């Protein structure tokens, strides 16, 4: 089944002008033609010279929900985006630029078939992404870093078993004990860099740096993002706003996508974007729900 927004271009409505001094190091540039067909123009991330740059990527519902629940019971970002192909494409572009993808174990546990590569999100463009990375002198695939205190990972998870994707599991000493008993694939390395119940942001950064990376993309979830944010280690945020709503059920107190606004259910109420304004860094969006 084609995803929502299949094939739609990501039009640029506004972009900040170039800063007067161009940083020395940047990642990206003009995109290869098959990628520029969906994302016209260029995609560039400025690179810091004293530590790896960390860019985060999230999709939110209109009312600001990025996860319906914490842990493996939560719906994935794809549910929040309404299975938006444009969102998958944007994520793939960022993966295409990245040396490292960092995810929390809660996010990993939601999708057992997920592999943190651009090709997984856009299989038809796998060759284009491979050639683009090669042109940028990047490794064929970004390294995946999964952060877990408990070490509660499924050794059969597809994202831990792709021979071309190096994986580092950043964990605590007890997490490492648990992981050492699992039949993990040879591409997976366990790093016990945390204390008893946490892997500090600084330790995650040092693991990223240890791979030689200049650019890491954090794909969440909220716990991991919070850890990096509090340590002031997030340099940019790519935020997709998906035109659906989530709300908390008054009786169960659980968040869920509001009946009738979820895409893929056939009878969803679709929201149309009908206005975009900005005042400085404030963004004003206007949506109209279809009856
Ligand atoms: N909308 C979006 O763009 C988006 C993006 C990503 C995720 N999500 C959703 O978010 C939900 C999961 O939320 P979450 O907050 O639980 O996600 P999460 O941060 O991916 O997972 C939390 C788990 O990750 C591990 N973890 C994270 N930071 C850690 C740290 N500093 N030290 C040690 N362990 C750490 C812990 O694993 P252990 O329990 O193993 O110790 C923790 O329980 C899922 O539904 C997912 O689909 C949405």
Nearest residue CA, atom 31 of ligand 1? 199
Pocket test for ligand 1, best of 67, 109, 121 (most atoms within 8 A of CB): 67
Instruction: Give 103 Cα–ligand 1 centroid separation in angstroms.
Output: 7
Ligand 1 neighbourhood includes 132 CB (under 6 angstroms)? no
Instruction: Give 105 Cα–ligand 1 centroid separation in angstroms.
Output: 5
Partners of residue 287 on adjacent β-strands: 273
pLDDT score recorded for residue 70:
59
Distance CA 271, CA 248 (A): 20
pLDDT score recorded for residue 272:
86
Ligand 1 neighbourhood includes 198 CB (under 6 angstroms)? yes
pLDDT score recorded for residue 250:
74
Helix (H, G, I), strand (E, B), or coil: what is residue 34? helix
Instruction: Give 237 Cα–ligand 1 centroid separation in angstroms.
Output: 17
Ligand 1 neighbourhood includes 82 CB (under 6 angstroms)? no
Distance CA 100, CA 116 (A): 9
Domain assignments of the chain as residue spans, ordered by start: 50-289
The fold of the 50-289 domain, in CATH, is: Dihydrofolate Reductase, subunit A (3.40.430)
Contact 48, 234 (CB under 8 A): no
Task: Single out the residue of 207, 215, 160 nearest to residue 183, CA to CA.
Answer: 160
pLDDT score recorded for residue 73:
53
pLDDT score recorded for residue 86:
96
Ligand 1 neighbourhood includes 207 CB (under 6 angstroms)? no
pLDDT score recorded for residue 122:
97
Contact 245, 64 (CB under 8 A): no
Task: Single out the residue of 157, 162, 93 nearest to residue 122, CA to CA.
Answer: 93
Instruction: Give 201 Cα–ligand 1 centroid separation in angstroms.
Output: 14
Task: Single out the residue of 291, 282, 222 nearest to residue 255, CA to CA.
Answer: 222
pLDDT score recorded for residue 44:
95
Cis before residue 221, ω within 30 degrees of 0? yes
pLDDT score recorded for residue 259:
57
Pocket test for ligand 1, best of 177, 222, 226, 246 (most atoms within 8 A of CB): 222
pLDDT tens-digit profile, the chain (291 residues): 556 788 899 999 998 887 777 667 999 999 999 999 999 989 999 999 999 999 999 999 888 889 876 555 556 788 888 889 999 999 999 999 999 999 999 999 998 999 999 999 999 999 999 999 999 999 999 999 999 999 999 999 999 999 999 999 999 999 999 999 999 999 999 999 999 899 999 999 999 999 999 999 999 899 999 999 999 999 999 999 998 887 777 777 777 776 555 544 444 456 889 999 999 999 999 988 866
Helix (H, G, I), strand (E, B), or coil: what is residue 91? helix
pLDDT score recorded for residue 85:
95
Ligand 1 neighbourhood includes 193 CB (under 6 angstroms)? no
Nearest residue CA, atom 7 of ligand 1? 221
End-to-end CA distance of the chain: 24
Neighbours of 17 (CB within 10 A): 5
pLDDT score recorded for residue 183:
97
Atom of ligand 1 nearest to the CA of 76: 47
Distance CA 26, CA 31 (A): 14
Q: What is the pTM of this model?
A: 0.94
Ligand 1 neighbourhood includes 149 CB (under 6 angstroms)? yes
């Amino acid at each position: 089944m084609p995803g929502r927004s299949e094939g739609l271009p990501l039009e640029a409505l506004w972009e900040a002008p170039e800063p007067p001094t161009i940083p020395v190091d940047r990642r990206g540039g003009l995109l290869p033609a098959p990628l520029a067909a969906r994302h016209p123009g260029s995609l560039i991330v400025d690179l810091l010279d004293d530590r790896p740059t960390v860019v985060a990527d999230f999709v939110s519902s209109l009312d600001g929900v990025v996860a319906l629940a914490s842990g493996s019971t939560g719906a994935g970002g794809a549910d929040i985006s309404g299975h938006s192909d444009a969102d998958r494409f944007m994520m793939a572009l960022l993966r295409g630029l990245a040396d490292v993808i960092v995810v929390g174990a809660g996010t990993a546990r939601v999708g057992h078939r997920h592999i943190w590569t651009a090709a997984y999100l856009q299989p038809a463009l796998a060759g284009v992404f491979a050639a683009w990375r090669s042109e940028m002198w990047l490794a064929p695939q970004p390294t995946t870093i999964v952060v877990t205190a408990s070490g509660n990972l499924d050794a059969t998870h597809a994202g831990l078993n792709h021979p071309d994707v190096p994986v580092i599991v950043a964990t605590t000493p007890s997490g490492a004990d648990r992981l050492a008993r699992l039949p993990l694939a040879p591409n997976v390395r366990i790093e016990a860099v945390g204390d008893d119940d946490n892997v500090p942001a600084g330790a995650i950064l040092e693991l990223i740096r240890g791979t030689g990376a200049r650019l890491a993309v954090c794909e969440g979830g909220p716990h991991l993002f919070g850890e990096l944010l509090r340590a002031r280690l997030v340099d940019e945020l790519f935020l997709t706003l998906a035109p659906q709503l989530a709300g908390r059920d008054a009786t169960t107190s659980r968040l869920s996508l509001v009946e009738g606004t979820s895409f893929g259910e056939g009878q969803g109420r679709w929201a149309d974007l009908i206005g975009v304004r900005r005042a400085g860094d404030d963004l004003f969006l206007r949506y109209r729900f279809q009856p």
